[in-house]
Structure 1
Amino acid sequence: MKGDPISMSSELVDALTILEKEKGISRDVLVEAIEAALVSAYRRNFNQAQNVRTDLNLANGTIRVFARKDVVEEVFDPRLEISLEDAQKINPSYEIGDVVELEVTPKDFGRIAAQTAKQVVTQRVREAERGIIYNEFIDREDEVMTGIVQRKDPRFTYVSLGKTEALLPPGEQSPNETYNPHDRIKVYITKVERTTKGPQIFVSRTHPGLLKRLFELEVPEIYDGIVEIRSIAREAGDRSKISVYTDRPEVDPVGACVGPKGQRVQAIVNELHGEKIDIVKWSDDPSKFVANALSPAKVLDVLVDENNKATTVIVPDYQLSLAIGKRGQNARLAAKLTGWKIDIKSETDARGLGIYPRSETAGDIDGEGPELFEDGDPGRTPEALAVPDAKEADLPENGGKDEEIE
């Protein structure tokens, strides 16, 4: 059964060299994988159970198969063992316990070897490409990429990110959006997993991180670190609030995010298909921060309970429904944004409970005294404080009642 060494195709040798350069797959790794596959192919195709080793010689382009047998005094299994006497006929230096290698390369092993080598190389190339994609995208978790919608099924919307497809689950899809093939959308990469079928990349259109990254793309001051996004509260497809801060007194953090004529925030609103965005100034003073967070409602006073991390916010009667928002949304988002419980009361109720006014300066929320409305609106009380640090992309519908939100 023994034959001459099998000559390996020069194309295969060249392919191994190219793969090492272009795919970054070491030739040694490929050769080791091919040799292991050739062993399995030899046993499968020639019904051989002995311990064998293959030798793939890239220098002269040959493949050889060797049977490995242990040197023993008495042979019980000739497929795995050789007597000391027979071993010493090959080489007098062999002793008990040594391993003798005998070439057993079949004459017709060349075709099988070529097919096996091709399969192994193809598999390793696929694995290497998957590894490259995984390594590229694992570093892009929590980043935004632009993708193209490919197709949809009940489980996912599939978004092409160039080298691979990402999965957009229904729970991560914005309720005010529909996704059609060839649509170009920005997605937030939430998770990258290594699986037997290759890397799986999960993306989102509802994650608060998407909003943060979009502001980084649109607002140079945020990208450069001059303005910092401190917190985000988002109900995707409907309304979001973000708080911003800067330690540079000459920079208006809210104005920087809004942009000239609202261009910067409007670009983000357009990307999110009309999602309303409130931008408020962050403050380490909870009374100021909570008042700002309730934008666009105007706040008279904020009573702070540090122990329970709760606040009672007093607003003019005509502002109560605006402060709470439609289905409690404005107050709910403000609570998420600030991390404080918020109980909103009308001025009439607060006076009836004796909690407002606290003093002559009760309305001094922004530290500079109250700013009074003088537009002649008969529905507005002169004590109403306009919060100057809050700007928005759109206004919500009014509606609601006294409500505690957390």
Structure 2
Amino acid sequence: MDLKTVIQTINQIAEEKGIDPTRVTEAIENSLAAAYRREYLDRGANVKAKLNKKTGEVHFFKAREVVDETTVRMTDEEPASDTEEEENKLPRYNPERHILLDEARQEKKDAQLGEELEFSLPSQIEFGRIAAQNAKQVILQSLREAERESVANEFKDKEGKIVSGVVQRFERGNVYIDLGRTTGVMFANESIPGEHYRVGERLRFYVVAVQREIRGPGTGVVLSRSHPDFVSELFAMEIPEIADGVVEIKTVVREPGSRTKIAVASNAEEIDPVGSCVGQRGTRIMAISNELGQEKIDVVEWSEDTEEFIANSLSPAKVRSVEIAGGREAKVLVTDDQLSLAIGRGGQNVRLAAKLTGWKIDVRSQARPNERLEGGVADAEVRSVAQDEAEDGEEPVKPDVSDQEKPAKEKPVPKGDKKSGSKKTKD
């Protein structure tokens, strides 16, 4: 059977799509071998096909494993007991797949147990037409699978990174994105609330995952614009100090489409981490905000000092003092004119600050420190200290009852402008 033209087509298409032609050739050989076995041999036969890439001819072989009485069962009798059954978990001898050692050495003098001998099978003229049709189907299927795997490998390296794509279509609330070699999907819960997309619009997306098992025209590239790490990657793209590792992103919390808080720290004393992110006249931070549909972004300076970090996290509000209580709780006091900023609309600012720091925050008026305010308390959605310490290999700290009876620790926040600690986009 002459498949020379088919081979040339395989090589051409494989080269265009960046696919290894060997994979397609192997798939065709396996398919032809299976078709030959179905047409001319018993079901148990182990048939192999070899395609000569130079001549286009296909040769068929029956592969038989060299065995003896110690490696196969020579009888179909059922074992008499459970013990005998355990001892006879050997495969039954099948003349289509096996050849006894003595017989094998008549074909090859140095044949060894476990070796596989190949015996030529006659060419079937009528089989040529069947094989040719079968080969065409296999070529198409193999090319699709190989291309899908090639694209999946390419995008697997982009997992956790940002890619650019064009809005292609909408389906059941999901947005399908043309990524060039494949189509990605942004599920409804991965889009920014209130953001409207237009077919043909080019946007940037965060690659959440590449799911290889998904079949169809795409490769299962799951995209997002609401993921917190989308903001982190945008900062790395827009801010050289972050890309170079001089400024480090410590944590990001986000309510997509509304507000993001990001904590940054400098690895060089002479570099202001907040100023580096905001940029001259806010140019850097505004570029990121524009990409996110004018989402407000508060950049705060991370600190090892818990009280200072909590105070910074409540930007743009100016904090008067932070009191640390047991159970990772903090009471924050601000002046009356800063209450609305500290709490935020619907409690958003204190809510994000609690998530950013990992502490439960209770914002109160400095004039009325014993009065709990509506919307002024927010829990941190993080693990306990004991869990964190256990993960680090340290013994969890057990609460001391006597410590809980002591007055709460209070650390006043230095007066003055907190610009060095936090900056934000305009409200």
Tell me if TM exceeds 0.5: yes
Contact 1:299 1:315 in 2 (8 A): yes
Aligned residue identity for 2:33: V
TM alignment of 1:4-403, pairs within 5 A: 6=1, 8-18=2-12, 23-25=18-20, 27=22, 29-44=23-38, 51=45, 52-65=47-60, 101=119, 103-195=121-213, 197=215, 199-305=219-325, 307-350=326-369, 364-366=412-414, 370-371=415-416, 386=418, 388-395=420-427
Moved more, 122-131 or 330-339: 122-131
Query: What is the rounded CA distance, in whole Å, between the counterparts of 1:118 and 1:315 in structure 2?
Result: 75
C-alpha distance 210-100 of structure 1, shift in aligned 2 (>3 A): closer
**Equivalent position SS for 2:36:** helix
Aligned residue identity for 2:323: L
1:74 corresponds in structure 2 to: none
Moved more, 190-199 or 256-265: 190-199
Query: What is the rounded CA distance, in whole Å, between the counterparts of 1:243 and 1:69 in structure 2?
Result: 66
Q: CA deviation at 1:329?
A: 0.3
Contact 2:274 2:420 in 1 (8 A): no
**Equivalent position SS for 2:220:** strand
**Equivalent position SS for 2:368:** helix
Contact 1:269 1:276 in 2 (8 A): yes
Aligned residue identity for 2:423: K
Count of matched residue positions in the alignment of Structure 1 and Structure 2: 354
Q: CA deviation at 1:139?
A: 1.4
Query: What is the rounded CA distance, in whole Å, between the counterparts of 2:6 and 2:334 in structure 1?
Result: 79
What does the per-residue CA deviation read over 1:305-342, in whole Å, with 9 as the maximum and x for residues that have no partner?
3x422111000022212211111001001111111111
**Equivalent position SS for 1:13:** helix
Unaligned runs of 5+ in 1: 1-5, 72-78, 372-384, 396-406
Contact 2:277 2:285 in 1 (8 A): yes
Contact 2:165 2:205 in 1 (8 A): yes
What does the per-residue CA deviation read over 1:252-291, in whole Å, with 9 as the maximum and x for residues that have no partner?
1111111111111111111111111111111111111111
Contact 1:310 1:340 in 2 (8 A): yes
Among all aligned residue pairs of Structure 1 and Structure 2, give the percentage whose two residues are the same amino acid: 40
Query: What is the rounded CA distance, in whole Å, between the counterparts of 1:68 and 1:365 in structure 2?
Result: 81
TM-score by length of 1: 0.77
Aligned residue identity for 2:203: I
Q: CA deviation at 1:364?
A: 4.3
**Equivalent position SS for 1:194:** coil
Moved more, 274-283 or 116-125: 116-125
**Equivalent position SS for 1:250:** coil
**Equivalent position SS for 1:228:** strand
What does the per-residue CA deviation read over 1:58-86, in whole Å, with 9 as the maximum and x for residues that have no partner?
34432244567999xxxxxxx969xx9xx
TM-score by length of 2: 0.73
**Equivalent position SS for 1:233:** strand
**Equivalent position SS for 2:246:** coil
Moved more, 59-68 or 241-250: 59-68
What does the per-residue CA deviation read over 1:200-225, in whole Å, with 9 as the maximum and x for residues that have no partner?
01111111101111111111111111
Aligned residue identity for 1:37: S
Query: What is the rounded CA distance, in whole Å, between the counterparts of 2:275 and 2:65 in structure 1?
Result: 82
What does the per-residue CA deviation read over 1:18-57, in whole Å, with 9 as the maximum and x for residues that have no partner?
5676645253x44443232113323555697583544433
Aligned residue identity for 2:31: A
Aligned residue identity for 1:171: N
Moved more, 48-57 or 288-297: 48-57
C-alpha distance 106-285 of structure 1, shift in aligned 2 (>3 A): same
**Equivalent position SS for 2:226:** coil
Query: What is the rounded CA distance, in whole Å, between the counterparts of 1:175 and 1:217 in structure 2?
Result: 23
**Equivalent position SS for 2:150:** helix
C-alpha distance 20-161 of structure 1, shift in aligned 2 (>3 A): closer
2:396 corresponds in structure 1 to: none
C-alpha distance 296-117 of structure 1, shift in aligned 2 (>3 A): same
Indicate the structure (1 or 2) with the bigger Cα radius of gyration: 1
Query: What value does the CA root-mean-square deviation take over the aligned residues?
Result: 3.6
**Equivalent position SS for 2:219:** strand
Contact 1:291 1:387 in 2 (8 A): no
Q: CA deviation at 1:116?
A: 2.1
Query: What is the rounded CA distance, in whole Å, between the counterparts of 1:226 and 1:99 in structure 2?
Result: 63
Query: What is the rounded CA distance, in whole Å, between the counterparts of 2:368 and 2:64 in structure 1?
Result: 96
**Equivalent position SS for 1:157:** strand
What does the per-residue CA deviation read over 1:186-212, in whole Å, with 9 as the maximum and x for residues that have no partner?
111111111151630111111110111
